[in-house]
Amino acid sequence: MSPIPLRRNFIADSWVESSGPSLDVVNPATGQPVARIQDADQATVDEAVGAARAALPGWKGTNPHKRAVVLHDVGRAISEDVDKIAVEITREMGKPLDEARGEVRKLAEAFHFYAEETTRVFGYTIPNNQDGFLSIVEKEPIGVVGAITPWNYPVELIGWKLAASLGAGCTIVIKPSEYTPSSAVALFETLERAGVPTGVANLVLGAGEAGRGLVRHDDLDKIAFTGSTTTGTAIAHSTSVAIPLSMELGGSCPIIVAQSADMKGAVAGTLRRGYRNAGQICIAINRAYVHRDHYEDYVAQLGQAVGGLRVGDGLDDPTVDIGPVAIPEILERATQHVQDAVDKGGRLVTGGTACDVRDGNYFTPTVVADVTSEMLLGHAETFGPVVGVTPFDDLDEAIALANATQSGLAAYVYATSLEESLRLGKELDFGNVAVNNVDAGIMNAPYGGRKGSGYGSEHGKEGLEAYLHLKHLRIRYMR
Ligand code: ADP
């Protein structure tokens, strides 16, 4: 058996070890260790931030059209390395290989998108109240960015921050999740091959120690975080200087199936957005509110569709619908949420248990009906393959139920009547609302949460603006 590889940090074009404690990275499909990392110590974090700081003047001063060439080169290199990166995603995170390939392709798309956006950063002028003055507003790169990312989309969520910040002219230090370091390492090998200049993009591996060391660093100009609300809140309280933060946190996302809904579409939409990636998506559907006219029909159809999902090791069979959940914590939480619902009167329609496949973290895709707001399934984020279903009688009630959590990331609506779809679209208090589809996260539209789900946008031109700040330049050109 080959030895378990130690993954290293990428700092200023060198692959370096740190001296932090060693951590095993486990394949969730088998329970076997597949890599090791060290939880990077402060000296390693300092080195990475120092490299990003040293590279900033050169990259910031690079003509945006030249930066665009580099980003397009990265996008092309990623497309050539799809399988290499995807295998690492599946081995450490568990999503089926075909889905992992899709994630890598979307990452390449992000680089091409921000390559183009980088040449479209426009300032503006402001008329002055005195003659002979001109006010120019310019947009400049914020500086050195520290980015902390989670395991559920291990390269795509790095990519949104990396492509946008590099496009904006910033330099960056990224700390990926300790559960999924190898796909980040594979991505950085691709960046190296594509010719990203020295120190512009740096990778630091580790868990909380490395993460805390990075977010408390006093030489960062911005922190971009995607992860749990708990960690995001801790980060917001722990920066050593007051710098801009962007936070993409959790959500407990509702779908409303209105009286005028196309049922087939609603069931297919719930299946896709409730169970894809084993429900481990910030914008996954957790709660379904269904008009009473359709309720039993929807529960039966969804139960049947979910019961038919194929669960397995997505490296052995890239086409399975659902792999293992990434970490044991998700198994425990899914089990707890289902048990809590059943104890409080919920009806288990399908699934509900961990399944014993080769010591992997497998949870059977689950539907629970007759869920109430008091149940964990009715208000908390499961982040696993579980959807709770609740009937409603009128739209006011459905809107109130959907809005009654701290979650403000994404909501879904199925309704064919203009009145129902427009009203729901306007009254749902979420940063993304998808009507008669479940894919609001397109590359050229802003994506972000509100309330407890965070602030700041990724995707779209807004995703680039997040790494720019304004300068007002007031010039007197006539005496
Ligand atoms: P998730 O379970 O969704 O990955 P977490 O919030 O636990 O969410 O982790 C997201 C990222 O935050 C990971 O890279 C993790 O290592 C990092 N992290 C955890 N604790 C801290 C902390 N106190 N400060 C900075 N980063 C942290």
Tokens, residue 154:
């291990």
**Residue 9 and residue 275: Cα distance in Å, rounded?**
33
Find the 231 Cα to ligand 1 centroid distance in Å.
6
pLDDT at 358 (0 to 100): 67
CA-nearest residue for atom 20, ligand 1, is 208
> For ligand 1, is residue 215 a contact (CB within 6 Å)?
yes
The active-site residue, picked from 156, 248, 381, 465, is: 248
Percent of the chain exceeding pLDDT 90 equals: 95
Q: Which of 55, 89, 50 has its CA nearest to residue 70?
A: 55
pLDDT at 355 (0 to 100): 79
Which atom of ligand 1 approaches the CA of 215 most closely? 25
- What residue type is assigned to position 387 of the chain? V
> For ligand 1, is residue 151 a contact (CB within 6 Å)?
yes
- Let me know the angle formed at the C-alpha of 249 by 243 and 252, rounded to the nearest 5 degrees: 155
**Residue 152 and residue 162: Cα distance in Å, rounded?**
17
253 is annotated as an active-site residue: no
Mean pLDDT of 149-176: 98
Mean pLDDT of 214-221: 97
Q: Is the per-residue pLDDT at 273 higher than 90?
A: yes
**Residue 155 and residue 162: Cα distance in Å, rounded?**
10
pLDDT at 479 (0 to 100): 87
Helices 97-117 and 64-80, packing angle to 10 deg:
170
* pLDDT tens figures, 305-360: 999 999 999 999 999 999 999 999 999 999 999 999 999 999 999 999 887 666 79
Mean pLDDT of 194-212: 97
Mean pLDDT of 28-37: 96
pLDDT at 240 (0 to 100): 82
Q: Let me know: does 101 contact 86? Beta carbons within 8 Å.
A: yes
> For ligand 1, is residue 208 a contact (CB within 6 Å)?
yes
> For ligand 1, is residue 235 a contact (CB within 6 Å)?
yes
Which atom of ligand 1 approaches the CA of 329 most closely? 2
> For ligand 1, is residue 180 a contact (CB within 6 Å)?
no
**Residue 102 and residue 99: Cα distance in Å, rounded?**
5
| Whole-prediction pTM | 0.96
> For ligand 1, is residue 398 a contact (CB within 6 Å)?
no
Which atom of ligand 1 approaches the CA of 175 most closely? 14
Which atom of ligand 1 approaches the CA of 150 most closely? 4
Q: Is the per-residue pLDDT at 238 higher than 80?
A: yes
**Residue 393 and residue 134: Cα distance in Å, rounded?**
59
SS3 category, 119? helix
Find the 89 Cα to ligand 1 centroid distance in Å.
18
What does the mean pLDDT of the chain come to?
96
458 is annotated as an active-site residue: no
Q: Let me know: does 369 contact 349? Beta carbons within 8 Å.
A: yes
**Residue 204 and residue 280: Cα distance in Å, rounded?**
24
